[in-house]
Amino acid sequence: MLAAVFVWPVATSVTASFTREGAFSLANYETVWRLYTRDVVYTLGVATAATLLTFAATVPVCGWLRVRAFGPVEFLLKVPLFVPFVVVGHALRVFLSPYAPGLSASWGGLALALAWKHAGLAALLLLGAFRGVDEHYLEAARNVGASTARLTRDILLPMAAPAVGVSAVLIFSSMLASFSIPLMMSRGSGPQMLMIDVYYRFGQHGDFATASALGVVAYLMALGAAFVYLRRLTA
């Protein structure tokens, strides 16, 4: 089942990306290089900015929550996990610019929306990792006068570093492949997220070969990230 609906499509798209007019060719990748280099850079940039934003917001809050538990804030942080991607895209669009596309259509607005959605997952993973840190270390540091911010920066973060790294990779690769949020934020012109390009290339131009080549570029970017993730998971 999975083979038919997942592995086979991956295989055909990889094959199609190397084929033009029935023969082996790199022409599709040449098209990608010519038309979409800017979008690849843009996608990497937005995903990086959004990942940094996610962790810049959640690390201090989760550190604080680890040191002094506070239910209501923890509950609120989990909320984005339960809001579907499409809804997040639309909600952030009307929140950031209620009328004509303004901030919501900029890369900053997109990064904000992606960070909003992924904050729930990040908080969950971070809190899990922070709660795994032995209380004794925190007590020892507190006895010599460390504040919550110091505890987060100098004890929680370094000790939970592997888990934080895995979370970051997971979130980064999910952002690279995000489709519904950028689609709902409705950005008309200028550089696009890679998945939007794949969608239009396939859906409107009917150009499966180039869409596949774009897809392969995305697979490779995700694979780089997933490699780290899987190694941690099986280790």
Residue ranges in 109-148 that form contacts with other proteins under rule CB under 8 A: 116, 118, 120-121, 124-125, 128
Token pair, residue 128, equals 């899990």
Between CA 113 and CA 182 the distance in angstroms is: 9
* Residue 155 beta carbon to other proteins: minimum distance, rounded to whole angstroms: 20
| Closest to other proteins by CB, 86 or 140 | 86
* Residue 227 beta carbon to other proteins: minimum distance, rounded to whole angstroms: 9
Q: Is 85 in the site for other proteins (CB under 8 A)?
A: yes
Q: Which stretch binds other proteins (CB under 8 A): 30-38, 135-143, 157-165, 227-235?
A: 227-235
Between CA 33 and CA 10 the distance in angstroms is: 21
Between CA 108 and CA 194 the distance in angstroms is: 16
Q: Is 149:60 a contact under the CB 8 Å cutoff?
A: yes
Q: Is 215:33 a contact under the CB 8 Å cutoff?
A: no
| Closest to other proteins by CB, 9 or 190 | 9
Q: Is 52 in the site for other proteins (CB under 8 A)?
A: no
Binding mask 199-218 for other proteins (x = CB under 8 A): x--xx----x--xx-xxx-x
Q: Is 29 in the site for other proteins (CB under 8 A)?
A: no
Near other proteins by CB under 8 A: residue from 41, 186, 190, 205: 186
- What phi and psi values does residue 24 have, to the nearest 5 degrees? -60, 135
Between CA 232 and CA 178 the distance in angstroms is: 23
